Structure 1
């Protein structure tokens, strides 16, 4: 488990550079706020008004009649939308992808940062209904305020690390919203273990929100997972059930966590996954998450869910930007329905 969390931590520190095509035309960058009705009333006090970065393709302002497909890209644990933009090296990588021939599309980066550094893209009374925010509130806002093609066949969902987990999770449950998925170096695909004893002791000893916000990576990630997957409205101030009590594993909590692991969930969502126009999975050959990513591919294959899988040269964060430019955006350009199709 330490290796898995270490891979995720690395992505926070890395911002991979990608080549920029000299003839690239500029995209338009807009930073907006989107209100999420689905997030209202969450026990953790997360704001329902979320920062969102929107990239409009070259020519968007000039051709008022043209509509575009949309790619929603989900950031990893510990990042914000702007932090993810840094990791992806947008807008430069998007400009280069379009200059190299990828069809124009709108790219949307929502910010799902929380008290414990990440929403896990899950629905919880503690953190809020992040699934509802993404699939209803955000999509509806983007469709209402931009010239989109408001159809599942023209919407893609991509994400890296925790965002890759979010793509797998949301993709399984909402095929009526999205038409294609790109899962990059996904975390948390298999059932979680309880944290090591020293980490469990630190987590159990935290009593204030201020102290929780100062935790190191692994204890803070433990709180994030508990807030998403084992909420408890009767346990302030964090409203969670922890995976240990006085250092002893609570198997009922770990079972709740396991129920949120895509490798456990997949059997129940095979028919949903078969509806997608295309699914892609990739991971680096030096990424601690590569075994689970391969298992996701193999399980999909076993159930007749079409997908492509690639292991590339790199670790958890070293090739994210270059692959976003050369693989992710061209993938959606090929499989999403564009204006006139």
Structure 2
């Protein structure tokens, strides 16, 4: 009889709790965004068996057109956390993913006159909700902030705007970090300008993104059809740039805001971000380099790393950046009970 192959035991299973947050801050926003927001929360396996224990919390911000459910059910975040805890890669903590997908793909984690105050929702209302409903270590030293793409840019922006809220921040492939010709104004502008309504941009990712960025960074609630000033105007046979709108976009980037946010970033124990050298979102590698250079110019300690990969490769899985870099980062820099 052949010996049975050794079976690798499955790691202890945590669970994902899905809650609904009826946001007071988002209620009545002019852009028609739903103020009832889903929040997915990972609880480690020992959360139920140790009812007196409290846990640090990492808030993870999803990317454009993505959401909290996809983070767990398609990206496999739950299994990754279970394995990291079983491997002693990290001590147990809670991970929270809010659903900030909007009618046009994402909130960009900013306060907008059209979409509503998503930055305040994330940094204030969401944290209050989580601390009320779960056994958290409800203090800044036990909170971390991370995200990918739109969520990576949101991570850096929120860390700058809400000092003393998180102890550490890690941004993966952060989008819209600084100015770059690839989106100023960008290939989606002609389609967005010709659109009569949402249906006309649904089939074009670049036009959809143009509208989403405009609603976030150049909001004009009464402007039809999108409640935003678009970064161009249609001529007889061409598209003209609208420098005033583009100026608003650039002024909203973390790089442009950095000189007035230095003290906020100094309050972080640790700041890190990384990006793939082959990122097909062309603005990300050069703007990451520029932002890192600016941080160094102001004497702000941080870790910035380029690796071989595209926008979505090498993020999840045992060999990905989340498991190898992000989770150990928070295990090192957060306070555990």
TM above 0.5, yes or no, is: yes
Give me the whole-angstrom Cα distance separating, in 1, the residues matched to 2:22 and 2:208.
26
Give me the whole-angstrom Cα distance separating, in 2, the residues matched to 1:186 and 1:60.
32
Q: Which residue of 2 aligns with 1:10?
A: none
Give me the whole-angstrom Cα distance separating, in 2, the residues matched to 1:262 and 1:75.
18
Q: Which residue of 2 aligns with 1:76?
A: 63
Aligned-pair CA distance for 1:286: 1.6
1:178-199 deviation per Cα after TM superposition (whole angstroms, max 9, x unaligned): 1110011101111251123xx3
Q: Does the 8 Å CA contact 1:76/1:84 hold for their aligned counterparts?
A: no
Aligned-pair CA distance for 1:22: 4.4
Q: Which residue of 2 aligns with 1:176?
A: 164
Q: Which residue of 2 aligns with 1:300?
A: 295
Aligned with 2:18: secondary structure? strand
What value does the CA root-mean-square deviation take over the aligned residues? 1.4
Gaps of 5+ in 1: 1-20
Q: Which of 193, 196, 199 is the aligned partner of 1:204?
A: 193
Q: Which residue of 2 aligns with 1:250?
A: 242
Q: Does the 8 Å CA contact 1:226/1:240 hold for their aligned counterparts?
A: yes
Q: Does the 8 Å CA contact 2:178/2:291 hold for their aligned counterparts?
A: no
Provide TM-score, normalisation by structure 2: 0.90
Q: Does the 8 Å CA contact 1:154/1:338 hold for their aligned counterparts?
A: yes
Aligned-pair CA distance for 1:269: 0.4
Aligned-pair CA distance for 1:295: 2.0
Gaps of 5+ in 2: 1-7
1:1-341 correspondence to structure 2 within 5 Å: 22-86=9-73, 88-101=75-88, 102-191=90-179, 192-196=183-187, 199-212=188-201, 214-246=202-234, 247-287=239-279, 288=282, 289-321=284-316, 322-339=320-337
Q: Does the 8 Å CA contact 2:106/2:212 hold for their aligned counterparts?
A: yes
Aligned with 2:136: secondary structure? coil
Give me the whole-angstrom Cα distance separating, in 2, the residues matched to 1:291 and 1:208.
33
Give me the whole-angstrom Cα distance separating, in 2, the residues matched to 1:85 and 1:311.
26
Aligned with 2:46: secondary structure? coil
1:45-80 deviation per Cα after TM superposition (whole angstroms, max 9, x unaligned): 111111111100120001111100000000111111
Q: Does the 8 Å CA contact 1:32/1:51 hold for their aligned counterparts?
A: yes
Q: Does the 8 Å CA contact 1:25/1:95 hold for their aligned counterparts?
A: yes
Aligned-pair CA distance for 1:86: 4.5
How many equivalent pairs are there? 316
Task: Name which one, 1 or 2, has greater alpha-carbon Rg.
Answer: 2
Aligned with 1:73: secondary structure? strand
Aligned-pair CA distance for 1:273: 0.2
